[in-house]
Amino acid sequence: MINLSKIQSSKPIQELLEFCIINVDKPAGYTSFDVADKIRRIFGARKSGHFGTLDPMVTGVLPVALNRACKLSGYFMHKDKIYIGKMHIHKEINIEKLKEEMKKFIGKIKQMPPVKSAVKRQLRERRVNKFEILEINGKTADFIADVEAGTYIRKLVSDLGDKIGGAHMTELRRIKAGIFDIKNSSAVSNIENVLDKCKEGNEELLRDILIPAEIISEILPAYQIKPDNLKQVLTGKPLTKQDFIKIPKEEIFCAFLENRFIGVYRNVDEGDVLARAEFVLN
């Protein structure tokens, strides 16, 4: 079991900044790239990257990786997302009828990406885990949607509207992206204030914001390796069965030496060679 709390509390701040993720509460009116770049500039980082684009007017959870943690983005991005939002319903409708129509979108659906999207416009299959009304007031309905990554919520509401006489989304907020929750997010202004306090000698608030990228152990299975060949392993040496305390069976996994993250590996099972590195933190 990887002790993330110990890593977060004991790693030097500069080492945390080199390999960390910040759970940002994205404000309206900015692109996801704008926010990630702002975080980069705040910390004077070499690079930054976000885990999953939000439209400029959409707010909420936007995990931003700094420096070497950017290399892990592909492992974090393709996870389910949860949103809350508002929709305007164009015609009067019985609430029970509305709920029944929304239930029909649960499960596998086909979506055509919007005209203004970065992907090819062709039908794509996506999974909807939950699509429910939270509250309704006249023609305004608050809803929650728990969906597979890559699902367009605006299109989901529009497609519902086709069944009920018209509806369009008016507000949207992402409250969860994979393991990142809005309850543990920080506004950009708060991040700036916390950094100022750190410069005055108070590190603790900053440590609370800098999530060690070792949290990948909550995304991928983590296996312990032996210390014998550490120098060679850190230069990219493939891992053999003898390197492990317990042999991994999964296709993709991460390797640790106690609480020290070594890298992400792919199981190849080539005789004595068990795994080859996809990313090594050296």
pLDDT (average), residues 205-226: 96
| Three-class SS state of 58 | coil
Sign of the dihedral through C-alpha 54, 56, 58, 61: positive
Angle at 131 between CA 127 and CA 132, to 5 degrees: 165
On whether the CB atoms of residues 257 and 222 are closer than 8 A, the answer is: no
Q: In the prediction, which pLDDT does 118 show?
A: 65
Inter-CA distances, 5 with 166, 181, 185, Å: 49, 17, 17
Q: 261: domain CATH number?
A: 2.30.130.10
The tally of domains found in the chain comes to: 3
145-184 pLDDT, tens per residue? Answer: 999 999 999 999 999 999 999 999 999 999 999 999 999 9
Res 270: pLDDT:
86
Span 113-122, average pLDDT: 72
From the CA atom positions of the chain, what is the Rg in Å?
22
Domain boundary among 177, 195, 228: 177
Mean pLDDT over residues 16-25, rounded?
Answer: 97
Which pLDDT does position 122 carry in this prediction? 82
* CATH number for 57: 3.30.2350.10
Based on the domain organization, do 276 and 261 belong to the same domain?
yes
The residues that are catalytic are 55
